[in-house]
């Protein structure tokens, strides 16, 4: 369904995109929502709030991403209310905390930090990476903690994440963990590999 245009401010295009929000095909409604958010179309705010509060996981995730893309006070309020009302499951809370952090709202930071420090499974890596993009040094320290204290899934996930960030040459070998540790320590020391 991907709709492309060289004239994104055309009302006809936005109207057509809005109609796709109710399409049963995930690719259609998700791409339409993201396109509208990129066009800063605030008319989708009620739909995004509904998806966040009542939708399935894909709709909740798209709603969070679109609310970040819109980056307007009303959208930030939707995310803050979701957080403050303690809605959603653990995955939702981590994703909303990361979204808020992206928008310089620190209310979910301690939740992200505690998950990163727990160093269990891939969500700890998500939390540490979210913090890394907000506070470079703190994120690296949490990543190093995951490498030292994390369970196998967390350590493997972190090596994969660092490979995504830096293209580690041996990420998928036994040397991956060691290379990840060297990269983190180098970054903390202020150098680059």
One domain, residues 182 and 128: yes
Q: Verify that 74 and 139 share a domain, yes or no.
A: no
**Statement to judge: residues 10 and 28 lie in one domain:** yes
Say whether both 83 and 122 belong to one domain: no
Range in 7-11, 51-55, 59-63, 125-129 the model is least confident about: 7-11
Instruction: Find the mean pLDDT for residues 111-119.
Output: 98
The angle formed by the CA atoms of residues 167, 169 and 173, to the nearest 5 degrees, is: 115
pLDDT of residue 193: 44
pLDDT interval class at 145 (50, 70, 90): very high
Pair 124, 98 in one domain: no
Domain shared by 95 and 123, yes or no: no
Question: How far is 34 from 18, CA to CA, in rounded Å?
Answer: 11
- 17 located within any domain: yes
> Pick from 107, 137, 155: which residue ends a domain?
107
Of the candidates 138, 137, 179, the one whose C-alpha atom is nearest the C-alpha of residue 158 is 179
DSSP 119: T
Decide if 112 is inside a domain: no
Q: Per residue in 162-185, pLDDT tens?
A: 998 887 777 777 788 889 999 999
Mean pLDDT for 69-81 is 96
pLDDT band at 129 (very low <50, low <70, confident <90, very high): very high
Alpha-carbon span 70 to 11, nearest angstrom: 18
Considering the chain, what is the average pLDDT of its residues?
92
Provide the 8-state DSSP code for 190: T
- Average pLDDT estimate for 114-137: 97
Same domain, 5 and 80: yes
Residue position matching structure tokens 């609310």? 67
Same domain, 9 and 74: yes
* Residue 131 shares a structural domain with residue 82: no
Pair 92, 169 in one domain: no
Looking at residue 173, its pLDDT comes to 78
- Final residue before a domain boundary, out of 107, 135, 153: 107
Verify that 15 and 68 share a domain, yes or no.
Answer: yes
Asked if 108 and 83 touch (Cβ cutoff 8 Å), the reply is yes
Mean pLDDT, rounded, for 56-69: 97
Q: How many domains does the chain have?
A: 2
Range of the domain at 129: 117-193
Report if residue 155 sits inside a domain.
Answer: yes
């Amino acid at each position: 369904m991907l709709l492309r245009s060289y004239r994104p401010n055309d009302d006809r295009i936005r109207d057509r995109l809005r109609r796709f929000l109710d399409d049963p095909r995930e690719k259609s409604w998700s791409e339409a929502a993201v396109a509208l958010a990129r066009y800063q179309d605030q008319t989708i705010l009620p739909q995004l709030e509904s998806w966040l509060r009542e939708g399935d996981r894909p709709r909740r995730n798209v709603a969070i991403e679109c609310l970040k893309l819109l980056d307007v006070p009303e959208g930030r309020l939707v995310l803050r209310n979701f957080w403050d009302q303690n809605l959603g499951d653990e995955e939702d809370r981590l994703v909303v905390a990361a979204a808020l952090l992206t928008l310089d709202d620190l209310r979910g930071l301690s939740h992200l930090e505690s998950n990163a420090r727990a160093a269990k499974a891939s969500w700890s890596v998500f939390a540490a990476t979210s913090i890394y993009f907000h506070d470079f040094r703190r994120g690296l320290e949490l990543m190093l903690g995951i490498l030292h204290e994390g369970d196998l899934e967390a350590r493997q996930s972190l090596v994969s994440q660092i490979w995504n960030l830096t293209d580690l040459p041996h990420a998928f070998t036994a040397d991956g963990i060691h290379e990840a540790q060297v990269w983190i320590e180098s970054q903390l020391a202020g150098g680059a590999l």
